[in-house]
């Protein structure tokens, strides 16, 4: 978490997850935006992670547009993978799975000067690549999302691109192998190495 400017309280992750789970049981879905935005405003790592835990529930139950709007605001504050990754993979990934039009927002994020936002434009596709959710029609969509970042020299962006390709290779090894061969000259060493790990 060395990149983060947030304060750290020292509460361990299992405890955060447990506290959020216990307190959400009695709350209706319409109350969740207030809870999670208030948690996010506290500017400590643990409360923001708790906010993301609430968002995981809201992403499944709440209106997609409102959930995405909140996530979009949060991305501006993200300065660590410890928040970008849980926000993008289960939360925004769930929204993308529920409503394909979410991709329109992710396309805009791909061109951002903020490298955390670029990372966040890639990681939701990791959710689609998981075994329980993957469908054949996702393959090209995932490659299209990753392609703008295969030459990105920013570590956190390249790492995300390689990670998504690696997960896709578990479902579609030949598709990813062909993609790597076609784009080998454009890929950073980091992306190529990460993408190839499961193809050896």
Q: What is the pLDDT of residues 95-150, one digit of tens each?
A: 999 999 999 999 999 999 999 999 999 999 999 999 999 999 999 999 999 999 99
**DSSP strands (E only) in 17-98:** none
- Measured CA to CA, the distance from residue 122 to residue 144 in angstroms comes to 10
Beta bridge partners of residue 7, listed in sequence order:
44
Q: Tell me what pLDDT residue 1 has.
A: 61
> Tokens 């500017």 identify what position?
43
- Measured CA to CA, the distance from residue 23 to residue 21 in angstroms comes to 6
Helix 155-171 with 189-196: angle, nearest 10 deg: 30
Nearest by Cα to 43 from 15, 10, 7, 19 = 7
Banded pLDDT at 4 (limits 50, 70, 90):
confident
Number of domains in the chain: 1
Q: Tell me what pLDDT residue 66 has.
A: 97
Tens-place pLDDT, residues 137-149: 999 999 999 999 9
Name the DSSP letter for residue 159: H
Q: ∠ at Cα 188 (184, 189), nearest 5°?
A: 90
Q: Are 153 and 117 in contact (CB under 8 A)?
A: no
Residue 118 lies in a domain: yes
Residue 169 lies in a domain: yes
Q: Tell me what pLDDT residue 26 has.
A: 87
Residue 52 lies in a domain: no
Q: Tell me what pLDDT residue 2 has.
A: 65
Q: Tell me what pLDDT residue 200 has.
A: 74
In terms of residue numbers, what domain contains 136?
Answer: 63-199
Tens-place pLDDT, residues 11-66: 999 999 999 999 998 899 999 999 999 999 999 999 999 999 999 999 999 999 99
Residue 81 lies in a domain: yes
From the DSSP assignment, how many helices (H) and strands (E) are in the chain? 13, 0
Beta bridge partners of residue 44, listed in sequence order:
7
Residue 23 lies in a domain: no
The percent of residues in the chain predicted with pLDDT above 70, rounded, is 98
Residue 136 lies in a domain: yes
Residues whose CB is less than 8 angstroms from the CB of residue 116 and which lie 6 or more positions away in sequence, other chains included: 75, 78, 79, 84, 156
Residue 173 lies in a domain: yes
Residue 152 lies in a domain: yes
CATH number at residue 194: 1.25.10.90
Tens-place pLDDT, residues 79-96: 999 999 999 999 999 999
């Amino acid at each position: 978490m060395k990149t983060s400017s947030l304060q750290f309280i020292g509460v361990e992750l299992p405890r955060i997850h447990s506290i959020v789970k216990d307190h959400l049981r009695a709350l209706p879905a319409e109350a969740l935006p207030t809870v999670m935005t208030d948690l996010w405003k506290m500017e400590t790592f643990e409360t923001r992670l708790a906010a993301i835990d609430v968002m995981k529930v809201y992403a499944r139950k709440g209106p997609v547009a409102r959930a995405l709007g909140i996530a979009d605001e949060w991305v501006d504050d993200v300065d660590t993978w410890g928040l970008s990754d849980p926000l993008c993979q289960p939360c925004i990934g769930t929204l993308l799975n529920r409503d394909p039009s979410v991709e329109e927002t992710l396309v805009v994020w791909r061109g951002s000067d903020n490298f955390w936002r670029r990372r966040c434009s890639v990681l939701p596709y990791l959710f689609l690549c998981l075994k329980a959710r993957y469908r054949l029609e996702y393959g090209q969509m995932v490659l299209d999302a990753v392609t703008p970042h295969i030459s990105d020299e920013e570590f956190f962006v390249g790492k995300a691109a390689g990670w998504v390709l690696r997960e896709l290779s578990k479902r579609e090894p030949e598709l990813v192998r062909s993609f790597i061969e076609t784009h080998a000259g454009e890929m950073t060493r980091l992306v190529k190495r990460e993408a190839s790990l499961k193809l050896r």
